[in-house]
Structure 1
Amino acid sequence: MGTALAIAAVIFLAFTIITVNYYLIRRRFETRFKEWQAQEQIYWQNEVERTSRQAVAQSRAVLGGKFTEQMAPYLPEFKYDPTEARFIGSPIDFVVFPGLSAGDPKEVVIVEVKSGKNCVLTPSEKKIQELIEDGMVRWELIERRCEDESNSQGNS
């Protein structure tokens, strides 16, 4: 009976040691996980703030560029009469008709305005530039003749 009691005591002691170790290890990993979680939360909060500031700065730059594009006819660098310029915005910024204000347009000028750090034409703008330089421009008239409504009502 003494041997059985000793075996039971060893088993109980082993079970107790295993259980205590389990809870100690679990607590240590939970603490580490909570610390990691807090660090990640701080990191992502900083990342969201940084990204938001970057988005606002980029948005301001884009809006500033669009404002500059629309105000270009009134800047000293613009060599045409502002009343002869028509803002389009995309894919090109202006079509200018020099001489239009005098009733005698001399040419049609396509104008692209670039401002800021990146003054590079987009692929679409480059293609439009090439088409214009290659003379791939034409005039097209769409006429729509409508019957006089008073005549069509009287003939019914």
Structure 2
Amino acid sequence: MNIEGLHAGLQAGPAIIAALIVFSALVIAAGVLAYRAGRQRGLLEAELSEGERMDLARKDAIERSRAVLSGQISEQIAPWLPDFPANPSDARFIGKPVDFVAFCGADEGVVREIVFIEVKTGRSALSPVERSVREAITQGQVRWVEYRLE
């Protein structure tokens, strides 16, 4: 390398350094702007997602409420629907922990069988208490108590 080339490179050096500084500043500024824009968009999406979550929660609550009301109505009319396992006049609505106790034959004057009936709709399952009642009955853990008041 000759002296003239070295001298030209040294003179061009400040211009290159200045260009690098300007370029770096632009890259940093663009990064800051991109970060702020991304953060703002994320906040907006988070707020939008919260609103969407609230809408979904409301819809879910309405659907559950309808399912509960539908189940309660079904429980009340079940004795008069086809395939109910007892004579409607023998069935007594209890509600909790089972829906009905039917005293089969009571309408004719002699109880032949006592049937515990739980009415379910759709995909509903037995609750833990309902399962325990079923187990107590199937295991014969049922008794008669006569309670007299004097």
- How many matched pairs? 124
107, 111, 123: which one aligns with 1:105: 111
CA shift digits 1:47-92 (9 cap, x unpaired): 1101111111122112212221221101101132212111111211
Cα distance in structure 2, aligned partners of 1:30 and 1:121: 52
Of the three residues 126, 134, 141, the one matched with 2:131 is 126
For structure 2, the 5+ residue unaligned runs are 1-25
Q: Does 1:42 align with 2:48?
A: yes
Shift of 1:129: 1.6
Of 62, 74, 77, 1:71 maps to: 77
The 3-state SS of whatever aligns with 2:75 is: helix
Residue type at the aligned position of 1:121: L
Q: For residue 101 of structure 2, what is the aligned residue in structure 1?
A: 95
Partner in structure 1 of residue 142 of structure 2: 137
Paired AA for residue 43 in structure 1: S
Alignment counterpart, residue 52 of structure 1, candidates 58, 61, 64: 58
Normalising to structure 1: TM-score of the pair? Answer: 0.67
AA of the residue aligned to 2:89 = T
Deviation of 1:33 after TM superposition, in Å, equals: 3.8
User: Any unmatched runs of 5+ in structure 1?
Assistant: 1-20, 146-156
Q: Deviations over 1:97-134 (max 9, x none)?
A: 1121222222211111121023x333322222221122
- 1:138 is matched by which residue type in structure 2? R
Farther-moved stretch of structure 1 (107-116 vs 30-39): 30-39
CA RMSD of aligned residues (A): 2.5
The ranges of structure 1 where at least 4 consecutive aligned residues each deviate by more than 6 angstroms after the TM superposition are none
Share of identical aligned residues, percent?
35
TM-score by length of 2: 0.70
Counterpart of 2:122 in structure 1: which amino acid? G
Tell me the CA shift for residue 40 of structure 1.
1.4
